[in-house]
């Protein structure tokens, strides 16, 4: 069954599309470096979408609680992010508190499935689905290329108005996806890091010599069973086993990430990447998510 689903998953993304690309120069001052967003997005549409995310995600009391942060932004938010947030507010024509709240809103209710896998030649691949309960985020998803001295320093996929990265790649160094999933460029350089407020609480590396050539992480500690309603981890494991280490690559990893419910109705975008092959970084927006009926067409 899973072999058939993996073959059919190529059909799932016929409606997918690539997010717009924005170049951000790290040589520019933080307050102005996000101005290129305005070449891609209409300010009115951005503000309307941002308001939808904020109103449906952040409790009203948070707005009042942020008052001291607005007054002393640099005290609470380190450089260069404080300057970038100021600049974002200026570009959007929004209040500083709204941009801060928007960044918090993006942090509150995101979900994901992240997979790191190694093939039989020692190449490491990394993929992720980002799930979020707001359809409007599909219209805010962007690929960002960060430039330093005219060269690509790193790239990633994020949402307009957010000054960090959910998904990113430093060419020929490492890849990372939200919730601290990391992959490197050499065999064995893949690990799931579970963190608490003090630092790493668990390190779960690849162990290909003992047959553990992939790791799947969702939103629950990997050493505990997920809730009975969440089957993403189990289905992803079965799909990877059906694929086999000898067949894992960027394309087959995308197929695994396309199988329901690994990809589901809340999936905003899917990214596949490999730090050793930085030109293969690919993110696609899934305009309607994925559904079980899609997988059995």
Is 91 in the same domain as 103? yes
Residues 6+ apart with CB under 8 A from 152: 145, 146, 171, 278
* Domain assignment present for 35: yes
Longest dimension (CA), the chain: 58
Q: How far is CA 57 from CA 67, 112, 178, 262, in A?
A: 18, 17, 19, 23
Is 95 in the same domain as 183? no
Question: Model confidence at 171, in pLDDT bands (50, 70, 90)?
Answer: very high
Given this model, what pLDDT does residue 280 score? 95
List active site positions.
Answer: 112
Is 146 in the same domain as 281? yes
- Cα–Cα dist 191/195, whole Å: 12
Given this model, what pLDDT does residue 209 score? 92
* Domain assignment present for 284: yes
Q: How far is CA 20 from CA 27, 32, 144, 214, 266, in A?
A: 22, 19, 8, 31, 20
Given this model, what pLDDT does residue 267 score? 95
Q: Is the pLDDT of residue 181 over 50?
A: no
For all residues of the chain together, what is the average pLDDT?
89
Q: Is the pLDDT of residue 197 over 50?
A: yes
* Domain assignment present for 250: yes
Given this model, what pLDDT does residue 12 score? 55
pLDDT (mean) for 130-150: 94
User: What is the residue range of 102's domain?
Assistant: 28-108
Given this model, what pLDDT does residue 293 score? 59
Given this model, what pLDDT does residue 296 score? 39
pLDDT (mean) for 161-185: 85
The torsion angles phi and psi of 208, rounded to 5 degrees, stand at -65, -30
pLDDT tens-place string over residues 5-17:
554 444 457 789 9
pLDDT tens-place string over residues 71-128:
888 888 888 999 999 999 999 998 888 899 888 888 776 788 999 999 999 999 999 9
Is 34 in the same domain as 13? no
Rg (CA), the chain: 19
Question: Model confidence at 179, in pLDDT bands (50, 70, 90)?
Answer: low
Is 102 in the same domain as 142? no
- Cα–Cα dist 260/210, whole Å: 28
Q: Is the pLDDT of residue 268 over 70?
A: yes
Is 255 in the same domain as 178? yes
* Domain assignment present for 23: no
* Domain assignment present for 264: yes
Pick the last residue of a domain from 108, 131, 162. 108
* Domain assignment present for 133: yes
Pick the last residue of a domain from 108, 128, 160. 108
* CATH code: domain of residue 191: 3.60.60
pLDDT (mean) for 161-183: 85
- Cα–Cα dist 118/264, whole Å: 25
pLDDT (mean) for 184-209: 86
pLDDT (mean) for 44-61: 89
The domain total for the chain is 2
* Domain assignment present for 160: yes
CA 95 to centroid of chain Cα atoms:
26
Given this model, what pLDDT does residue 118 score? 97
Q: Is the pLDDT of residue 28 over 60?
A: yes
Is 8 in the same domain as 78? no
Is 114 in the same domain as 206? yes
Is 152 in the same domain as 62? no
- Cα–Cα dist 9/3, whole Å: 10
Task: Say which DSSP state 189 is in.
Answer: -
Pick the last residue of a domain from 70, 86, 108. 108
Of all helices (H) and strands (E), which one includes residue 50? helix 43-57
* Domain assignment present for 203: yes
Is 154 in the same domain as 278? yes
Is 124 in the same domain as 101? no
pLDDT tens-place string over residues 215-267:
999 988 899 999 999 999 999 999 999 999 999 999 999 999 999 999 999 99
Is 191 in the same domain as 291? yes
pTM of the model: 0.91
Q: 53 or 296: whose pLDDT is higher?
A: 53
Burial 220-256 (b: 16+ CB within 10 A, else e): eeeeeeeeeebbbbebbbbbbebbebeebbbebbbbb
């Amino acid at each position: 069954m899973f072999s058939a689903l993996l073959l059919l998953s190529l059909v799932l993304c016929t409606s997918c599309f690539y997010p717009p690309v924005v170049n951000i120069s790290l040589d520019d001052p933080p307050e102005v470096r996000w101005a290129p967003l305005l070449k891609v997005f209409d300010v009115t549409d951005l503000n309307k979408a941002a308001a939808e995310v904020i109103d449906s995600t952040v409790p009203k009391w948070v707005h009042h609680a942020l008052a001291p942060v607005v007054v002393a932004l640099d005290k609470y938010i380190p450089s260069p992010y404080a300057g970038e947030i100021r600049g974002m507010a200026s570009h959007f024509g929004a209040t500083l508190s709204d941009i801060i709240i928007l960044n918090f809103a993006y942090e509150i209710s995101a979900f994901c499935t992240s997979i790191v896998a190694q093939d039989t030649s020692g190449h490491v691949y990394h993929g992720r689905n980002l799930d979020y309960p707001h359809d409007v985020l599909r219209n805010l998803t962007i690929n960002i290329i960060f430039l330093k001295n005219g060269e690509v320093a790193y790239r990633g996929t994020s949402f307009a108005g957010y000054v960090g990265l959910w998904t990113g790649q430093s060419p020929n160094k490492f890849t990372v996806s939200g919730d601290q999933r990391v992959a490197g460029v050499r065999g064995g350089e893949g690990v799931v890091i579970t963190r608490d407020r003090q630092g790493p609480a668990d390190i779960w590396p690849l162990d290909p010599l003992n047959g553990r050539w992939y790791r799947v992480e969702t939103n629950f500690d990997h050493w505990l069973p997920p809730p009975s309603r969440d089957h993403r981890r189990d289905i992803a494991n079965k799909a990877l086993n059906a694929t086999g280490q000898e067949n894992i690559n960027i394309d087959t990893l995308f197929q695994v990430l396309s199988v329901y419910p690994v990809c589901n109705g809340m999936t905003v975008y899917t990214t596949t990447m490999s730090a050793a092959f930085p030109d293969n970084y690919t993110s696609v927006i899934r305009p309607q998510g994925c559904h079980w009926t899609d997988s059995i067409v």
